[in-house]
Amino acid sequence: MISDPIADMFTRIRNALQVGEPSVAMPASKLKTAIAEILLRQGYIEGYQVSDGGKPELTIALKYHGQRRERRPVITHIARVSRPSRRVYAGKGEIPWVLSGMGIAIITTPKGVMTGDEARRRGLGGEVIGVVW
């Protein structure tokens, strides 16, 4: 049993990037799929796929730049901000800037999961799930 599935997702991505894996698989959920969609739209991953079966599985194709020995992952940092033991909420004026706008904050709002920039433009606040750069 996993107590924090989002932290598990981020850890799996981080570990796969460190060893240079082309993709990473994990149990699927609607929230994980929404996070993968945000990472795809922002250009941090190549793509994702949800397999239908007994237990749905989310497979994320990781993105790298450079050739062979100079190959580096596009995601240099991915971390969970709000945890089950300590939830972090931000109002519409308190949404964090990540690396002066070079990274993204992933926020759950009443209108769905979105980046910090989208939430700021729409005037929404919510729970800060994590940050990526």
3-state secondary structure the chain: CCCCHHHHHHHHHHHHHHHCCCEEEEECCHHHHHHHHHHHHCCCEEEEEEECCCCCEEEEEECEECCHHHCEECCCCEEECCCCCCCCEECCCCCCCCHHHCCEEEEEECCEEEEHHHHHHHCCCEEEEEEEC
pLDDT, tens digit (0-9, with 9 covering 90-100), for 84-120: 999 999 999 999 999 998 999 999 999 999 999 999 9
pLDDT bin (cut points 50, 70, 90) of residue 68 is confident
pLDDT value of residue 1: 67
pLDDT, tens digit (0-9, with 9 covering 90-100), for 6-46: 999 999 999 999 999 999 999 999 999 999 999 999 999 99
pLDDT value of residue 52: 87
- Domain enclosing residue 28, as ranges: 5-132
Amino acid in the structure at residue 125 = G
Q: How far apart are the first and last CA of the chain?
A: 29
pLDDT beyond 90 at 69: no
| CATH number of domain containing 46 | 3.30.1490.10
Token representation of residue 74: 């596009």
Count of domains observed in the chain: 1
pLDDT, tens digit (0-9, with 9 covering 90-100), for 70-85: 999 999 999 999 999 9
